[in-house]
Amino acid sequence: MIYELRIYDVNPGKMQVILDRFRDHVIQLFNKHQMKITLFWEDFDESNNRLYYIVEHASMEDRNLNYDRFRNDPEWIEVKRLSELDGPLVKKQESIFMKDVPFFENK
């Protein structure tokens, strides 16, 4: 299993919009494309304007295929277009890839 920690630096004034987009659309679209979000956080210090979440992937190949399908999904393209009519929501996105260690069971 591969765990992808995604970190979004959200543009000022856009946090609620991106949270709504995840709640109303993205999580369901991820599920449709076999991408499971296991944890989701907003930075404790709101001035950081950061969003964090973890997506589980069976392999890096599966991750790449699933993201390609997601990014090309007409529903996602329209959701993104409509939610960004007043400008982009994310200033910067970073992914960190992790795997389990043999001595600790992550459940």
**The CATH number of the domain covering residues in 2-99:** 3.30.70.100
Residue 104 confidence class, pLDDT cut points 50, 70, 90: confident
Tell me the average pLDDT across 49-54.
97
Q: Is the pTM here over 0.75, yes or no? A: yes
pLDDT above 90: residue 31 = yes
Tell me the average pLDDT across 96-107.
87
Residue with tokens 């856009």, as numbered in its chain: 14
Tell me, what's the pLDDT at 105? Answer: 78
Tell me, what's the pLDDT at 107? Answer: 63
User: What's the mean pLDDT when you consider all of the chain?
Assistant: 95
User: Starting from the edge strand earliest in sequence, which strands make up the sheet with 50-57, in order?
Assistant: 36-42, 50-57, 2-10, 90-99
